[in-house]
Amino acid sequence: MKDKLSHLIKNIGIPRITIVTLLIVIYIAAYYLGLNVPSLFSDNLVRMGMNGILVLAMVPGILSGTGLNFGLPLGVICGIIGGLISIEFHVTGLLGLLLAIIVSIPLSVITGYLYGLLLNRVKGSEMMVGTYVGFSVVSLMCIAWLVMPFKSDAIRWPIGDGLRTTITLTGYYDKVLDRFLAFPIGGVEVPTGLLLFFFFMCYMMYLFLRSKTGLAMVATGSSNKFAKASGINVDKSRLISTVISTALGAIGILVYAQSYGFFQLYTAPLMMAFGAVAAILLGGASAHNAKIVHVILGVFIFQGLLLAALPVANVIFPQGNLSEVMRVVVQYGIILYALTKAGGGH
C-alpha cells in the first residue's frame, strides 16, 4: 500500500501535486470569499481550450530535440495575418475562422521552414536563439503592421495609416467555437466546440507521433546518433517539427482570438511563447520529453491558477494597483517554478 502510494506520487511528480494542491486551495478560498466559483470554473475551461493549441505547439519541438519553441510568436503572427485576410474579405462565422486557418497554414509552413533552417544551424542553443528570433520578428512586424495594404475599416485606423492595435471580432467569428454546442451544467457553461477542437488537435498530434515521420522525429530527439544510424535525416526531422510547431502556433492564435474576441497586433505576440512553455512544463514535460497528457493537464492547471488567483488576490488586496502586481508576480512565479521543477513525472 505504502509502496503503491509512493509509486503514484513518483508517477505524478511532486511539482504537479504541489501546483494542483495550490489550485484547489485557491478555488476553496474563492468559495469562502464569496466569489462565483462555477463561473470561475467555466472561464477556466474556456482558457484551457483557447490556450491549448498554443501549448500543443510545444510538443513537436520538445520531441525532436529542438527544445521548447520560444519562437512561437512567428506562428502567432502568421495566424494573425490569416485572420486579418479573412476579415478583409468579410467572411464571417465558422467559415471565416476556417478561411483564416486555411490561409495561415501555408504562411506558417513557409515561415516555419525558414525558421527551422535557422535552428539547424544553431544546434544546442535553439531555445536562446528562438527567443530572440521571436523578439526581433515581433519588432519587425510592428513596422509591417503600419504599412500592410489592408482596406477593411475593421482593420485600419479610421484616421491616419496602419492597422489598429486591437481588432475586434464581433460580427466576424467572435466565440464561434465557444458557442458551438455549448451547454450549461450546474452553473458551469461548457464551451463544447472549443474543447472538441482542442481535443481533436491533440488526437491528430497523437496519431502523428505514431506515424513513420513522427517516430523518426521522436528518435531524432532521443538520440541524434541513433537516428542517423537508422537512416533518419536528422535535419529534416527537426525541420518538420519546427514547421508543425509554427503551424500549430498559427492555428492556436486563431482559436485563442475567436474566444478572446480580438486580434492583438504590434507587441502583443511578444510573450505568447512563455505562457505556453510554462503550461507544458507544469504539466510534467521536460525540455526533452513531452506527452499529450502533459499538454492537457498543464494548460488546465496553469490557466486555472492565473485565472483564479487574480480575483482572490483582488479580494485579499483591495488596493487597485496591488492586485495587478500580484497577477504578474503569480504568473511569472509559476513560470519560474515550472522551469526549475520541470520533469519528475513519467
Considering only the stretches 34-42, 223-231, 290-298, 299-307, report the one whose residues sit in contact with other proteins under the rule CB under 8 A: 223-231
Binding status of residue 225 toward other proteins by CB under 8 A: yes
Binding status of residue 215 toward other proteins by CB under 8 A: yes
Please identify which residue in 77, 219, 295, 307 interacts with other proteins, judged by CB under 8 A: 219
Considering only the stretches 65-73, 159-167, 218-226, 301-309, report the one whose residues sit in contact with other proteins under the rule CB under 8 A: 218-226
**What are the residue ranges of helices labelled H in 158-211?**
176-179, 192-209
Binding status of residue 210 toward other proteins by CB under 8 A: yes
Binding status of residue 229 toward other proteins by CB under 8 A: yes
Binding status of residue 160 toward other proteins by CB under 8 A: no
Binding status of residue 113 toward other proteins by CB under 8 A: no
Judge whether 192 and 279 are in contact, CB under 8 Å.
no
As measured in angstroms, the least distance from the Cβ of 213 to other proteins is 8
C-beta of 215 vs 293, nearer to other proteins:
215
Binding status of residue 320 toward other proteins by CB under 8 A: no
C-beta of 179 vs 236, nearer to other proteins:
236
Q: State how far the Cα of 307 lies from the Cα of 309, in Å rounded to an integer.
A: 6
As measured in angstroms, the least distance from the Cβ of 11 to other proteins is 14
Binding status of residue 19 toward other proteins by CB under 8 A: no
Q: State how far the Cα of 173 lies from the Cα of 181, in Å rounded to an integer.
A: 15
CA distances, 289 to each of 34, 204, 343 (Å): 41, 18, 8
Three-state secondary-structure class, residue 262: strand
> 205, 197, 206, 243: which is closest to 51 by C-alpha?
197
Please identify which residue in 27, 208, 260, 262 interacts with other proteins, judged by CB under 8 A: 208
> 277, 281, 2: which is closest to 10 by C-alpha?
2
Biggest CA-to-CA distance, the chain: 71
Please identify which residue in 6, 36, 125, 233 interacts with other proteins, judged by CB under 8 A: 233
DSSP annotation string for 84-129: HHHHHTT--HHHHHHHHHHHHHHHHHHHHHHHHHHHHHSTT-HHHH
Residues within the interface to other proteins (CB under 8 A):
207-208, 210-212, 215-216, 218-219, 222-223, 225-226, 228-233, 289
